[in-house]
Homo-oligomer: A and B are copies of this chain.
Amino acid sequence: MGPNSISRLSAEGLGTLLLTYTLAFASAGGVDTAIASAGALAFLYWLLAGASGAHLNPIVSLSLAVRGKLGWVDAALYTVAQLVGALLGGLLLWASAGDAVKPAFLGTSGEVASGDLVKALVGLAIGAFLLVGAYVAFEGAERLLAGLAVGTAFGLAALTGATGVNLAKVVGADLTYTISGGSVAWASIWVWIVGPLVGGVLAAFAVPWVTSQIPSATADAE
C-alpha cells in the first residue's frame, strides 16, 4: 500500500456511503430515478475523482483491473472499501428512515426466475457497458465534463432499469435488509456480478477501440 492509500480508500468508502444513502430516496424507477442517479454520481465524481477515481462500484474497479488500468490489489481494496461504505450507508438509512427501509426502497437484489435470467443479464450488461465505457473514455478529460458524462451514463443505465449495475449498492442493501431482520435471496446474487462484469469488461476494451482510432479527434480540444 502506498502512502496515499488510506485517503483513496476513504474516498471510495465515503462516496459509496453517500451514493447508497441518497439513491434510496429515488428508487421508484423511470426518469426520476435516472435524474437522481446522474446527479448523485456526477457530484461525487467531481468531489472524489481527484482522490481515488471515484469508482464507487466494484464492477468499475474490476473492469478497469481486467483492462490493466488498475492493479489487482488496489481493485480488491477498493471493492472492500466500497462494500463497507455501502453497508454504512444502508445502516444510516435504517437510522434516518426507519420502517421505510424495505427491499424496494433499499434496492436489494431479489430472486430471478429462470425464465427472466437472460433478460436480467442482458439488461445489467448493457447498463454496465454504458457506465464503464464512460469511466474509460473520459479518463483524463476535464473534471466538469468527465463528471457529467459518468453521471449521465449511470442515469441512462438506471433509465433502462439497470439500477443494480452498482454492485456495492446492491450488496450493501442486501446486508442492511438482512441485519434489519429481512430475508434476502442470496442464491441469485451472481446475476448482479456476472451480468455487469461481462458488460463492463466488454466496454473497457471496445470503447477505447471505437473512440481512439483517430488520435487528433479524440484528444480533448477544449
Which A positions have Cβ atoms within 8 angstroms of B? 4, 6-8, 10-11, 14, 18, 21-22, 25-26, 30-36, 38-40, 42-43, 46-48, 50-51, 92, 95-98, 118-119, 122-123, 126, 130, 133-134, 137-138, 142-145, 148-149, 152-153, 155-156, 159-161, 206-207, 209-211, 213-214, 217-222
Contact = CB atoms under 8 A, between A and B. Distances in A.
Q: Ordered nearest first, which 6 A-B pairs have the shortest CB separation?
A: A7-B213, A50-B217, A31-B32, A96-B122, A96-B123, A43-B152
Contacts of A153: 43
30 contacts: A4-B214, A6-B213, A7-B209, A8-B214, A18-B130, A21-B126, A26-B34, A31-B33, A31-B35, A31-B36, A34-B35, A34-B39, A38-B39, A42-B148, A43-B152, A47-B133, A47-B207, A47-B211, A48-B211, A50-B218, A51-B210, A51-B211, A95-B122, A96-B122, A97-B119, A142-B222, A143-B145, A143-B221, A144-B145, A144-B148
B118 A220 contact: no
A46 to B, nearest CB: 5
Contact of A40 (B142, B156, B221): B156
Nearest to A155: B39
A11 B209 CA distance: 10
A110 to B, nearest CB: 16
A50 B217 CA distance: 5
Dominant secondary structure of chain A at its interface with chain B? helix
Contact of A156 (B22, B30, B133, B134): B22
A166 to B, nearest CB: 16
Given A34-B36, A38-B39, A145-B144, A14 B210 contact: yes
A207 B46 CA distance: 13
Contacts of A148: 42, 46, 144
